[in-house]
Amino acid sequence: MADTISPGARALLREEKVGYFDRSGSLYLSADNLFVLVEKPASKQQARSLNNLFVGSRAQALHAVWTFKDQWFGVHELAERASVSPTTASQVLIELERREWVNSKGAGPSKERILSNPRALLDEWSSYVASIKPKPLRSYYMRMTNIDEVIHEIDRICDETGVRYEISGLMAGQIHAPHLSKISQIHCRIDHGGESLLGKLGAKAVKEGWNLGVIDSNPRHDFLFRQRVGHVWVTDPLQTYLDLLQLDSGRSKELADHLRLTKLAVPE
């Protein structure tokens, strides 16, 4: 029994045949000759409580938790890796303990945690991403004979001008976990100063028939976990997965599932 039980936690409890009840009126009971399932949507207040973990600096800390994988870590290690305050890192860890997504050992300043339920974390984050509007995408068209050459040109220009960028979407998924035979669009984030890059690429703003999509970026939160793969910067597998879930492409979900299984090592 709890004030709020997230959809992912409900699914896990049902899988283990553990009954639950929360303030929304959701109820699950399973026993011999008895099965009761009442599903109620969370109230606005409950939804905010469930979702505030996946936005802003808290999401940044949560992403950093994922990068520790099977390593123990302390609150200050998390704060440093996520570039957030120790207070934010501590709040996130308290919430993860409440949801039973991490195990802990020790006490006080030396207390450490380890991610123990990556599947629940990823399921909940996926549900949140699917429930919100995709980030605004500015679409451009440029002459493109070879997509790899264009990506290398983006890298060269950004390196020369000191502008941060990261390839995302289908191309990033393909780089991390090759699966599709052909990709004709590039999705990327570009830091401040990106307008000069678009000019040098000869990219022209269009509404249809685009092949370069620029995702609105937040310099405070984006680029922190990008990875250098070969000669380009790409979103790390976790961010790539979350970005793919928000794409309207017919094969983005297919590639997201493949990436989840091969690189995130978490089955559906």
Please choose, from the candidates 10, 15, 13, the residue with its C-alpha nearest in 3D space to the C-alpha of residue 26: 10
Instruction: Give me the torsion for CA of 8, 13, 17, 22, rounded to 10°.
Output: -110
In angstroms, rounded to a whole number, what is the distance separating the alpha carbons of residues 148 and 24? Answer: 50
Residue 197 falls inside a structural domain: yes
Number of residues written out for the chain: 268
Q: Domain range holding 75?
A: 44-131
| Structural domain ending residue among the three candidates 88, 114, 131 | 131
Beta pairing partners, 240: none
Residue 1 falls inside a structural domain: no
| DSSP conformational letter for 23 | T
Same domain, 30 and 48: no
- CATH classification at residue 161: 3.30.460.40
pTM here is 0.80
Which amino acid would we find at residue 246? Q
Percent of the chain at pLDDT above 90? 54
**Higher pLDDT, residue 188 or 8:** 188
* Strand-strand pairing, 204-205 and 137-141: antiparallel
> pLDDT of 6-65, one tens digit each?
776 777 788 888 999 988 889 999 988 899 999 887 666 655 555 689 988 999 999 999
Same domain, 29 and 118: no
Residue 52 falls inside a structural domain: yes
Number of domains in the chain: 3
Same domain, 146 and 123: no
- CATH classification at residue 87: 1.10.10.10
Residue 267 falls inside a structural domain: no
> pLDDT of 140-171, one tens digit each?
998 888 888 899 999 999 998 888 999 999 99
Q: What is the CA radius of gyration of the chain?
A: 21
Average pLDDT rounded to a whole number, residues 175-184: 90
**Higher pLDDT, residue 66 or 22:** 66
Same domain, 117 and 53: yes
Same domain, 153 and 244: yes
Question: Does residue 268 have a pLDDT over 70?
Answer: no
